[in-house]
Amino acid sequence: MDHRAAPRLHILHLEDSDIDHHLVRRALRDLPGGVALDRVDTLPALRESLVDRRYDVAIVDYRLPGFSAIDAWEAAQRLGVELPPFVLLTSAIGETAAVEAMRLGFADYLLKDDIGKLVRVLERSIEVRQAQRARERADRELAASERRLAELTEHLQSSIEQERAAIAREIHDDIGGALTAVRFDLAWIGRHVDADDAAMQQHVQSATGMLAHALGASQRIMMNLRPPILDQGLVAALSWMGENFSRRTGIALDFQPPRERLALPPAIELAAYRTAQEALTNISKHAEARRVAIELSDGEGVLTLEVSDDGRGLPPEARDKPRAFGLRGLHERARTVGGWLDISNRNGVGTSIILSVPLDDGSHDAPEEPLP
Ligand SMILES: Nc1ncnc2c1ncn2[C@@H]1O[C@H](COP(=O)(O)OP(=O)(O)OP(=O)(O)O)[C@@H](O)[C@H]1O
Ligand SMILES: [Mg+2]
């Protein structure tokens, strides 16, 4: 009965010369943990071995009858299986070949005169490969986790929009409805109150004033929650937003709408609207600008919204402020409609925020999908 433990390493040797194979076997004799060394000397045999077994490393002679190590490499690449690192073992005259092999992706090469270093070269190739695999695994996990985060953000954002729309509806139907009813009643009271009762007249007047204030406030809140102006299209909404901005801040705003009429999916309209909204809020908070331009276009199947100012510019480190969520939210929002956001510091003169969204398919026209 064989009590020996399984060898630590499985090594494939592509070699036609018995003497050279023997040399390699000798060089590997003292490898800790022992090795299983398989030898092949034709391309079909190499392919079969690589498909049948996971080797830790392959040692490849440069010149074989009728083919070279490079042919062997290319044949192996076509197999579509995970390959071990390839180490080229070549005689001194093959140095140019060694350079070519390294360029192709061989893990390492060794001159036959240096066969004493074989164990070290193999160990290193295996270690490098393991580190590479670990890094690939980590990259895959990171990408998966980023994907999950993006999905969560998308879900959160669509929930927030739904929630906002629902609150806006409630304010409109409940509060708006009630306030309108009160306004009619107050008007009725105003008409029927004794014309000589000055105190009563004054109370009615001040109640009417307060009511107008409350109606205005609830309309403003509704506008911010879900801009009904968007029902008239993005161009109308942006132009309304621009006028409001100018009136409130005194900053001149130039809005250039596209020449053609736009027919956009509602989710993209909302993303563009929120982008302009945050960009304008940022300008009034941070930019110290005197002029702002909003440009909307849909050339070459891509919707582009650019909001630029001539203010103090946005320093690169400002994008990563720990408590700043505006720009971060815009990046996420752009992603949820298949687009992206560019922020450019225009040579120290002002800032440009550019949202680009390809308008390829109709997959984004359902912003208010039911919650799962
Ligand atoms: N137009 C701009 N001009 C100059 N600086 C800007 C401009 N827009 C943004 N910034 C800078 O970039 C930072 C990040 O902006 P961001 O919108 O993410 O956060 P915020 O506006 O500070 O906070 P929040 O949007 O979360 O309320 C800002 O704090 C500001 O320093
Ligand atoms: Mg902001």
pLDDT per residue as tens digits for the range 93-135: 667 788 889 999 999 999 888 999 999 999 999 999 999 999 9
Task: Report the alpha-carbon distance of residue 39 to residue 58 in Å, rounded.
Answer: 10
Q: How many domains does the chain have?
A: 2
**Residue carrying the six token digits 């109640």:** 207
Shared domain for 124 and 239, answered yes or no, is no
Shared domain for 365 and 245, answered yes or no, is yes
pLDDT at 92: 63
Which residues in the chain come in under a pLDDT of 70? 1-5, 92-94, 346-347, 361-372
Please answer whether residues 278 and 326 qualify as being in contact, where contact means their C-beta atoms are separated by less than 8 angstroms: yes
**Residue carrying the six token digits 């390294």:** 102
Residue 107: inside a domain, yes or no? yes
Residue 181: inside a domain, yes or no? no
**Which CATH number characterizes residue 75's domain?**
3.40.50.2300
The two three-digit tokens of residue 4, written as one number? 């020996």
Last residue of a domain, one of 82, 109, 136: 136
Please answer whether residues 294 and 275 qualify as being in contact, where contact means their C-beta atoms are separated by less than 8 angstroms: no
Residue 209: inside a domain, yes or no? no
Shared domain for 243 and 122, answered yes or no, is no
Last residue of a domain, one of 117, 136, 155: 136
Pocket test for ligand 1, best of 314, 320, 354 (most atoms within 8 A of CB): 314
Residue 151: inside a domain, yes or no? no
Residue 287: inside a domain, yes or no? yes
pLDDT at 15: 95
Q: Is 120 in the pocket of ligand 1 (CB under 6 A)?
A: no
Residue 27: inside a domain, yes or no? yes
DSSP 3-state of 279:
helix
Query: What count of Cα atoms within 13 Å lies in the side-chain half-sphere of residue 46?
Result: 29
pLDDT at 24: 95
Please answer whether residues 288 and 253 qualify as being in contact, where contact means their C-beta atoms are separated by less than 8 angstroms: no
Please report which helix (H) or strand (E) contains residue 83, including its range. none
pLDDT at 83: 95
Shared domain for 125 and 260, answered yes or no, is no
Q: Is 306 in the pocket of ligand 1 (CB under 6 A)?
A: no
pLDDT at 361: 56
Length of the chain: 372
CA of 282 to the centre of ligand 2 (A): 5
> What is the residue range of 26's domain?
9-136
Residue 164: inside a domain, yes or no? no
For the CA of 311, the nearest atom of ligand 1: 3
Shared domain for 132 and 236, answered yes or no, is no
For the CA of 353, the nearest atom of ligand 1: 1
pTM of the model: 0.57
Last residue of a domain, one of 136, 158, 182: 136
pLDDT at 94: 65
Shared domain for 244 and 350, answered yes or no, is yes
CA of 304 to the centre of ligand 1 (A): 21
**Which CATH number characterizes residue 369's domain?**
3.30.565.10
pLDDT at 195: 85
Residue 169: inside a domain, yes or no? no
Of 230, 232, 233, nearest to 222 (Cα)?
A: 230
Shared domain for 363 and 249, answered yes or no, is yes
**Residue carrying the six token digits 């809005």:** 255
Nearest ligand, measured from the Cα of 283:
1
Task: Report the alpha-carbon distance of residue 269 to residue 231 in Å, rounded.
Answer: 10
